């Protein structure tokens, strides 16, 4: 008889975990509180416009392909994507504009031409980022940091030998200023701290390895939008026999003799040999484990940044924009102080605009574009989000109108907004934090909650709030780590 495993949550990590465990001959049941799979990776329509609701950046697609191959299927028969020639377009208030080409040499040429930074300077910086990634990939990203066996390996010894080159004692901003110097380029690479919801002025210099992921692997767009990542994995899981129950909120993880033995949904108990929570680790302990003490680290961790997202159906096209676009603030350090220290929205925020209709023409009517407009924000600490959002909307429209040379508000024909409270309600992310805890600490990688419970046998955790961190690639890696621990 097959062993049973219950997965709580059908986010991308929960889906990947279910698929991997089904390949290990487990009978897997997934309970999802929402009516759909995907968690943050979902989509919706307004009028003739389609929008991806959550994550908009897709890199390292081989982690998705790997799941199909694991099940003996051809990934291209079920999930396809195209690589972007441009990673992002960047705009500054002083009129500087820069295209981050996917090809490293072309990007280096652009930087040299537009910013006067020698190609060799950028290439040396990216080489150091690659070295950090190569030294830490197997140790930090593909294994549990909370098992002693991880530290007794050649990979660990190699990483420790090169510990100085990790630049853990410096902030990402310090590293970027020392190695790049030119202010626009420093700000551009400081932005990568937001990929895990952190501040470049606090997160350690080792985080420059994130740049390597984008520059080396490139950025991609799934056919049909970002939701196709989760939808294709959901269908794959179904084909592997995984059972899904939507609109079924788990109320409790059942524990007996210090072991997870199942879950309770309403008044019904479902027995299991192991339980995997894809829910944010904070509400997992607070709401699903009422008889268990929450670990101190989980209770006191600083939350990552959240976001205010405007979804605008724009009845105009903008040839100067592409899929990913960034409009920078003039004072980046003040912006991050507002987010993490005073818990406010900054008066001159950096604005990210994602437009999938640049590639997926059906995402908007002819002559229009679907704009996903995201502003980094603090987590929800009881702020007056209605008043803050109204003020923010005015400032964002003024900023974009000024830089694009149009009165943008005149072209908005569809609109909705999502703030930290809605993010928390929809995704159960504590305080609406997009990435669980922040990485504003040089020991952040070690402080993230492990992928297993140290006190409750058979209880495991996957997703962005636990090791190795947030973002689609790391969530998929968390699923791999969990499945290997369960199968050990």
Instruction: Read off the pLDDT of residues 266-297 as tens digits, 9 standing for 90 and up.
Output: 999 999 999 999 999 999 999 999 999 998 88
Domain assignment present for 48 = no
**pLDDT at residue 232 above 70?**
yes
Point out the least confidently predicted range of 83-97, 215-229, 298-312, 431-445.
431-445
If asked whether residues 185 and 120 sit together in one domain, one would say yes
Q: What tens digit of pLDDT does each residue of 385-394 get? A: 999 999 999 9
Containing structural domain, residue 259: 3-43+60-81+226-295+449-487
> What pLDDT score was predicted for residue 297?
82
Give residue 144's pLDDT. Answer: 47
Q: Are residues 211 and 231 in the same domain?
A: no
In a domain, 178, yes or no: yes
Q: How confident is the model at residue 150 (pLDDT cuts 50, 70, 90)?
A: very low
Residues 132 and 194 in one domain: yes
Q: How many domains does the chain have?
A: 2
The answer to the question of residue 441 being in a domain is no
pLDDT at 132: 81
For residue 374, tell me if it sits in a domain: no
Q: What is the mean pLDDT of the chain?
A: 92
**In the 3-class helix/strand/coil scheme, how is the chain assigned residue by residue?**
CCEEEEEECCEHHHHHHHHHHHHCCEEEEEEECCCCCECCCCEEEECCEEEECCCCCECCCHHHHHHHHHCCCCHHHCCCEEECCEEEEEECCCCCEEEEECCHHHHHHHHHHHHCCCHHHHHHHHHHHHHHHHHHHHHHHCCCCCCHHHHCCHHHHHHHHCHHHHCCCCEHHHHHHHHCCCHHHHHHHHHHHHHHCCCCCCCEHHHHHHHHHHHHHCCEEECCCCHHHHHHHHHHHHHCCCEEEECCCCCEEEEECCEEEEEEECCEEEECCEEEECCCHHHHHHHHCCCCCCCHHHHHCCECCEEEEEEEEECCCCCCCCCEEEECCCCHHHHHHHHHHHCCCCCCCCEEEECHHHCCHHHCCCCCEEEEEEEEECCCCCCCHHHHHHHHHHHHHHHHHHHHCCCHHHHEEEEEEECHHHHHHHHCCHHHCCCCECCCCCCHHHHCECCECCCCECEEECCCCECCCCCHHHHHHHHHHHHHHHHC
Q: Are residues 231 and 209 in the same domain?
A: no
Indicate whether 34 belongs to any domain: yes
Determine the pLDDT at residue 116.
Answer: 98
CATH number reported for the structural domain that contains residue 35 in this entry: 3.50.50.60
Residue 248 lies in a domain: yes
Is 260 in the same domain as 280? yes
């Amino acid at each position: 008889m097959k062993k049973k495993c219950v997965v709580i949550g059908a986010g991308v990590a929960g889906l990947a975990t279910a698929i991997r465990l089904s390949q290990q001959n487990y009978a897997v049941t997934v309970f999802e509180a929402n009516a759909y799979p995907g968690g943050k990776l979902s989509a919706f329509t307004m009028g003739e416009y389609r929008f991806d609701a959550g994550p908009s950046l897709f890199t390292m697609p081989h982690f998705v392909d790997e799941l199909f191959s694991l099940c003996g299927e051809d990934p291209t028969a079920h999930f396809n994507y195209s690589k972007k020639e441009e990673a992002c377009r960047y705009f500054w208030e002083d009129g500087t504009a820069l295209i981050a080409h996917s090809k490293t040499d072309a990007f280096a040429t652009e930087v040299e031409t537009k910013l006067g930074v020698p190609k060799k300077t950028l290439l040396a910086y990216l080489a150091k980022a690659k070295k950090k990634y190569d030294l830490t990939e197997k140790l930090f990203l593909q294994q549990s940091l909370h098992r002693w066996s991880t530290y007794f390996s050649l990979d660990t010894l190699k990483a420790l030998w090169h510990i100085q080159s990790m630049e853990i004692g410096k902030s990402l901003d310090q590293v970027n200023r020392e190695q790049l110097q030119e202010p626009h380029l420093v700000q551009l690479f400081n932005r990568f701290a937001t990929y895990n919801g952190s501040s470049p002025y606090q997160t350690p210099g080792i985080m420059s390895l994130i740049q390597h992921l984008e520059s080396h692997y490139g950025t991609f767009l799934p056919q049909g939008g970002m939701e196709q990542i989760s939808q294709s994995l959901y269908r794959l899981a179904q084909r592997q026999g995984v059972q899904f129950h939507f609109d079924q909120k788990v109320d409790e993880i059942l524990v007996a003799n210090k072991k997870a033995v199942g879950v309770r949904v309403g008044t019904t108990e479902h027995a299991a040999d192991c339980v995997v929570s894809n829910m944010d680790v904070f509400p997992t302990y607070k709401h699903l484990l009422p008889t268990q003490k929450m670990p101190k680290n989980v209770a006191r961790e600083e939350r990552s940044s959240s976001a205010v997202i405007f979804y605008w159906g724009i009845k105009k096209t903008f040839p100067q924009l592409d899929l990913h676009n960034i409009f920078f603030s003039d004072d980046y350090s003040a912006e991050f102080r507002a987010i993490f220290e005073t818990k406010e929205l900054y008066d001159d925020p950096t604005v990210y605009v994602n437009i999938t209709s640049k590639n997926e023409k059906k995402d908007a009517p002819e002559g229009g574009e679907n704009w996903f407009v995201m502003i980094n924000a603090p987590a929800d600490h009881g702020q007056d989000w209605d008043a803050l959002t109204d003020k923010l909307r005015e400032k964002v429209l003024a900023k974009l109108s000024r830089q694009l040379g149009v009165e943008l508000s005149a072209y908005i024909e569809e609109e909705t907004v999502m703030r930290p409270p809605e993010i928390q309600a929809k995704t159960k992310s504590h305080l609406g934090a997009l990435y669980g805890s922040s990485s504003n600490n040089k020991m952040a990688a070690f402080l993230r909650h492990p992928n297993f419970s140290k006190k409750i046998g058979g209880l495991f955790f996957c997703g962005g709030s636990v090791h190795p961190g947030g973002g689609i690639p790391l969530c998929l890696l968390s699923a791999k780590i969990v499945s290997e621990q369960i199968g050990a």
